[in-house]
Structure 1
Amino acid sequence: MNNTANSTTHNVHLAIEKNWDGKIAERSERASVIFCVNDQQLGIQIEAPFHGDPPPSAPAGEFEGLWNYEVVELFLLGTNGHYLEIEIGPHAHFLIYHLCGIRQVARTLSPALCKTCIAGSGWEGSLTLSLDQSILPFSHVNAYAIHGQGADRRYLSTFPVPGKVPDFHQPGYFGYIGDL
């Protein structure tokens, strides 16, 4: 199997089943992300429970600060140390950063497509993003689901991260794509 996601056509499935610190999350909170890189295009599919948090005040589309709302996030680390932070909310808001170092935003990207659908107690989302060669190939990944407000705020992850508070910008703790 290819150890990086560059021109792979197979899907990589990430189960978001743990709290950010590694404790097992409640089954009703768990989400999943499937992604595939094909011909410099990234496709993402999300399935998550809908927790009914208030949506952002802006119409669907790009929204700065989306991480403060109900959201699923995908982080993809390139072999050059650059990484993507892709956030998608159940109300079709998104935020995509290309970072050139820890929390160093090089630029904001726009997807070719971002669709979501809330159905009962769950939601699904899909996003398509064109990639440039500067970020490829991807070597490591992590996915997160965030919901709730105030003291009830919950942070889930595929691969746990250390610290006293959730900090998702820790590429050293992302999972190696070749092992997935």
Structure 2
Amino acid sequence: MEVDAPFFDDPKAPPGLPGEPFNKLWDYEVVESFFLNNSSTQYLEVELCPHGQHLVLLLSGVGNAFKKELALEFEADTTSNWGKWHGIALIPWSYFPPDVNMMNSYAIHGSGLGRVYEALYPIPPQEISDGQSPNFHLLEYFREFQLKWIMGEEWEQPASDLWELSP
């Protein structure tokens, strides 16, 4: 997963070490991608921070994480291109649920009243209710996505024992 994004540096870096998982990373500047099997509601959540921290969750059922803070090979750079950040994460195939067929991505930055939430596939404005807070686990707003679109039609996703043990 590769990220090229504006770097806001707001809020400042989380207190965790770069290269390490950091719980509640969504409270900081972050880019998140979710990969879903919509028939089983099993999905992978990958969060990447411009300061080098990451968070990987495996979920079975809406918002039900059964594995948290998984290791990830991830590097981020905020110094090479002023005002932007670049990150590359190598996500193990075993982290993806079987038969991924939908996804969504989000970017979050800013503090307090200036907090900004962006979505690749947002909730249509007419469906947002007054006072509704951001919720990235509204799976009905994810859109079709096939890993074969990236890997080629002949590619077969490797099996993973991580998902065989999910609740």
Root mean square deviation of aligned Cα: 1.7
- Alignment-derived partner of residue 62 in structure 1: 21
Report the equivalent of 1:33.
Answer: none
> Which residue does the alignment assign to 2:143?
175
The whole-number CA distance in structure 2 between the counterparts of 1:123 and 1:136 is 31
How far 1:52 moved relative to its partner? 1.4
Query: After alignment, is 117-126 or 78-87 more displaced?
Result: 78-87
Spell out the pairing of 1:1-180 with structure 2 (5 A cutoff): 44-53=1-10, 54-60=12-18, 61-79=20-38, 80-108=40-68, 109-111=70-72, 113-118=73-78, 119-132=81-94, 135-161=97-123, 162-163=127-128, 164-177=132-145
Contact 2:33 2:46 in 1 (8 A): yes
Q: Secondary structure at the match of 1:67?
A: helix
Q: Relative to total residues, which structure has the larger helix share, 1 or 2?
A: 2
Q: Please identify which structure carries the higher strand content.
A: 1
Contact 2:32/2:48 (8 A) holds in 1 = yes
> Is the contact made by 1:115 and 1:125 (CA closer than 8 Å) also made in structure 2?
yes
Conserved in 2, the CA contact under 8 Å of 1:110 and 1:129? no
Point out where structure 2 has 5 or more consecutive residues left out of the alignment: 150-167
Whether contact under 8 Å (1:45, 1:124) holds in the other structure is: yes
**d(CA) in 2 for partners of 1:71, 1:175:** 21
For normalisation by structure 2, the TM-score amounts to 0.76
Tell me how far 1:81 sits from its aligned partner. 1.4
- Kept in 2, the 8 Å contact 1:81–1:100? The answer is yes
Aligned residues: percent identity?
31
| Structure 1: gaps spanning 5 or more residues | 1-43
Query: Does the residue aligned with 2:5 lie in a helix, a strand or coil?
Result: strand
1:114-156, CA deviations, whole angstroms, 9 ceiling, x for partnerless residues?
0111131000111112133871221000000000000000000
Higher relative contact order (CA 8 A, sep 6+): 1
1:88-137 Cα offsets, whole Å, 9 max, x none, are 000110000000011101102222x1011113100011111213387122
